[in-house]
Homo-oligomer: A and B are copies of this chain.
Amino acid sequence: MANPSLLILAGDGIGPEVMAEVKKIIAWMGDKRGVTFDVSEDLVGGCAYDAHGTPLHDDTMAKAQAVDAVLLGAVGGPKYDTLDFSVKPERGLLRLRKEMDLYSNLRPAQCFDALADFSSLKQDVIAGLDIMIVRELTSGVYFGEPRGIFTEGNERVGINTQRYTESEIARVARSAFELARKRGNKVCSMEKANVMESGILWRQVVQEIHDKEYADVELSHMYADAGAMQLTRWPKQFDVIVTDNLFGDLLSDLAAMLTGSLGMLPSASLGAPMANGRPKALYEPVHGSAPDIAGQGKANPIACILSFAMALRYSFDMGDEATRVESAVEKVLADGVRTADLMGPAGGTPVSTSQMGDAIVAAL
């Protein structure tokens, strides 16, 4: 059988630095576990714009479609702030999501024991937290038409369209229910059905899919504003949360920040199965490109390394290898090894990006 293929798009800012540490894990897997990946690399975001005048070249798009999984670092930076909307770094990422049809974005919000103190929330509220946000990623107001800035009379009007079809809702709901079955068997769906018709349809379809196909899973519905409150008040009440693209953007960032350790959190964006049975997939850390610390060896590579672990689990059916990587991360944290962002009052051994990667490889 051919080696599993991986396209690395390190992107901008700290992207290349954190990705360098993932490559160490990949190398270790080839040496020690006999698992060899066919790795290719390319540009996305600002660096792609610098090279080609577009944040995602068509050739790169074609490569992404052809591989088993894409691993992305981060995109964006102040240098690109004044670019036109259509060529901003983010458009590269959004094009990948849309054209690969990665409709199910998995964002675990997990609190690591060694870091519970890092949260702005009280320890008992956050210790042991383990929730999974499933965000719809290819539709909604991110992609709906009509959109744009128009002139009406003598003033400008900004328009975007929130639009969800039944089948778009159904497939991401299924993805959430499937995940729940492997976890706490509970799904909470969030929308604003009290003010938006698209939210009414969302609620109906999620309920229908539940009743027909997943009646064994416990399902509840919550308005997204109440969801933001409840996530802040007592996040451990949730297991899996399923929500739309825009609410998911806010709520998953909120959930990530609850844990206090943004530099720790991975994500997976999954689409339909390809001919080989593997889902279309892109993995990326939740954090951004952090231009303020880029190139200084300060970045925390763990979110990117855990994104690779998600790739092992969800794309390559190597759950054991994924757990091995995750355990190595936990061990290193328990040992007090800390990049700058993880340096709290309790102290620890300060390390650079590269030393953190080495420590994790050593713990493997």
Contacts and interface: CB of A to CB of B under 8 A. Distances in A.
Interface stretch (A179-187, A225-233, A300-308, A312-320): A225-233
Given A125-B120, A156-B166, A165-B155, A197 B229 contact: no
Nearest to A124: B120
A197 B258 contact: no
Copies in the complex: 2
A99 interface: no
A16 B187 CA distance: 35
Contact of A155 (B144, B166, B197): B166
B161 A88 contact: no
Contacts of A90: 194-195
Contacts of A247: 250
Contacts of A228: 228, 250-251, 253-254, 257
For this complex, into which size category does the number of interface residues on chain A fall?
35 or more
A201 B149 contact: yes
Contacts of A121: 120-122, 232
A148 to B, nearest CB: 5
A164 interface: yes
DSSP class of A's interface residues: helix, strand, loop or mixed? helix
Contacts of A226: 253
Interface in A121-135: 121-122, 125
25 contacts: A85-B200, A88-B194, A90-B194, A90-B195, A94-B195, A120-B121, A120-B125, A141-B141, A141-B162, A147-B197, A148-B197, A149-B200, A156-B205, A158-B163, A158-B201, A159-B198, A160-B161, A160-B197, A161-B161, A224-B250, A225-B250, A225-B253, A229-B256, A232-B257, A246-B246
Interface of A: 85, 88, 90, 94, 120-122, 125, 141-142, 144, 147-149, 152, 155-167, 192, 194-202, 205, 224-226, 228-229, 232-234, 246-247, 249-251, 253-254, 256-258, 260, 262
Closest 8 pairs between A and B when the two form their complex, measured CB to CB: A158-B201, A158-B198, A229-B257, A225-B253, A155-B166, A232-B257, A228-B254, A160-B162
